[in-house]
Amino acid sequence: MAALDQEQLRVVLLDTKHRVLTMRTVYQGSVNQAQVRVAEVFRDAVRHNAVALVAVHNHPSGDPTPSAADVALTAELARAGELLDVELLDHLIVGQGRHASLRRLGLGFPSGR
């Protein structure tokens, strides 16, 4: 994903033992953004009876530092996941030779989780 010219958002859908069920590309955007509708992120999770997912997107600039929009999206996904009973395990941002985990950084996830 680091070599892509446009942002893409992908989801990795997981079963009860956190084994990969499938991976889907949900959005493809421009060089610096992708408009994301939260319902689209969870559509395949519901269809596949996934209990968890990991959101992954790239930054074509190569710098995986999360933006304010990335943090806001993570918070929206975490809230929606709670309502749908599909846990957002992490939101990863892929850059050139590096990545960032929003969960590890404590960004966008409810405290205590």
Tally the domains of the chain. Answer: 1
CATH code, domain carrying 19? 3.40.140.10
Sequential pLDDT tens for the chain (113 residues): 777 888 999 999 999 999 999 999 999 876 565 678 999 999 999 999 999 999 999 999 999 999 999 999 999 999 999 999 999 999 999 999 999 999 999 999 987 55
Q: Phi and psi at residue 41, in whole multiples of 5°? A: -65, -35
In this structure, is residue 79 part of a structural domain?
yes
Exposure of 104 in the CB half-sphere (CA atoms within 13 A): 7
In this structure, is residue 55 part of a structural domain?
yes
In this structure, is residue 12 part of a structural domain?
yes
| Contact present, 90 and 57 (Cβ < 8 Å) | no
